Amino acid sequence: MSVRRGALGAAVVLTALLLQSAVLFRIPGPAPELLLLVVLAFAVVEGPASGAGTGFIAGFLVDAGSDQELGRVALAYALAGYLAGVVRTGPDRSRFAFLGAVAAGAMLAVTAYAVEGVLLSDPRTTFTAWVGALAATVAGCVLLAPLVVPMVGVLVRRLDEDPRR
C-alpha cells in the first residue's frame, strides 16, 4: 500500500467520521452510519483485506470517542469490512451485487457489536435495541450505498491510474 493510498483512506475515513459525528445527527430521524458505509465501500472496491484494515482503524476512532470499551466498534467494523469484501469477490458478479455485500456487512457489524454487549453484560444490549439498530443501520447503508460506493471507487481508481504514484 502506497503512502498516497494511505492518505486517501485517512482523508475519506476522517471526513466520514466528522460528517457522522458533527453533522448527520442534526437531520431528523436515525442518523445513517456513514463511517461504516465508507468501510464497506472500501471492502467492495478493494476486497476483504482493505475492508478489514479500514474497518479496524475507523472503528477504533469511534471507540476512542465513546464511553464504551475500546476495540468494540473496531472489531465489529473489521468483521463487517472483511465479510463485505468476501461477498463482493464471490460468485455474484451482477451490477448490484455491491448492495448485497453492503447489507451483509451492515448486519454483521450490528450483530457483532450486540454480541460483544451481551458478553460484556452491557445493560443497553436488549433484543429490541438490536432489532432497531439492525433495521436502521442496514436501511441507511443500503440507501446511501449507490452514492458512496461509486464515489470511493472513483477515488481509488483515480489513484491507481495516476502515473505519478
Partner 1 sequence: MRATRRARLLLVVLLLSAVTLTAVDAQGDGLGGVRRTADRLLGPAQNAVSGAVARVTGSGGQDDAALRAEVARLTGELRRSEGLQRRVDELDRLLALSNAGTYPMVAARVSSIGAAFGFGSTVTIDAGSLDGVREGQTVVNGDGLVGRTVRVGPVTSTVLLLTDQGFTVGARLTRAGTIGLASGDGDGGLSYELVEGGSVTVGDALLTTGSDTFVPGVPVGRMTAVRARAGALVTTATVAPFIDASSLDLVGIVTEPPRGIPRVPIQPSP
Only one of the segments 3-11, 17-25, 95-103, 150-158 lies at the binding site for partner 1 (rule: CB under 8 A); that segment is: 17-25
Is the Cβ of residue 6 or residue 162 nearer to partner 1 in the bound state? 6
Shortest CB 40 distance to partner 1, Å: 14
Interaction of residue 59 with partner 1, rule CB under 8 A: yes
- From the list 94, 86, 96, 101, the residue with the least C-alpha distance to 41 is 101
**Which is nearer to partner 1, 4 or 66 (by Cβ)?**
66
**Residue 67 makes contact with partner 1 by CB under 8 A:** yes
What is the SS3 assignment for the chain?
Answer: CCHHHHHHHHHHHHHHHHHHHHCHHHCCCCCCCHHHHHHHHHHHHHCHHHHHHHHHHHHHHHHHCCCCCCCHHHHHHHHHHHHHHHHHCCCCCCCCHHHHHHHHHHHHHHHHHHHHHHHCCCCCCCHHHHHHHHHHHHHHHHHHHHHHHHHHHHHHHHHHHCCCC
Q: How is residue 115 written as a grid cell?
A: 454480541
Return d(Cα 46, Cα 73) in angstroms, integer.
Answer: 21
Chosen residue from 5, 8, 30, 153 binding partner 1 by CB under 8 A: 30
Q: How far is the CB of 65 from partner 1 (least distance, A)?
A: 7
By beta-carbon proximity to partner 1, the closer residue of 9 and 53 is: 53
Residue from 110, 141, 148, 152 touching partner 1 (CB under 8 A): that is 110
Instruction: Point out which residues bind partner 1 (CB under 8 A).
Output: 14, 17-18, 21-23, 25-26, 30-31, 33, 47-49, 52-53, 55-56, 59-76, 78-79, 82, 85-87, 89-91, 109-110, 113-114, 116-117, 120, 122-126, 128-129, 132-133, 136-137
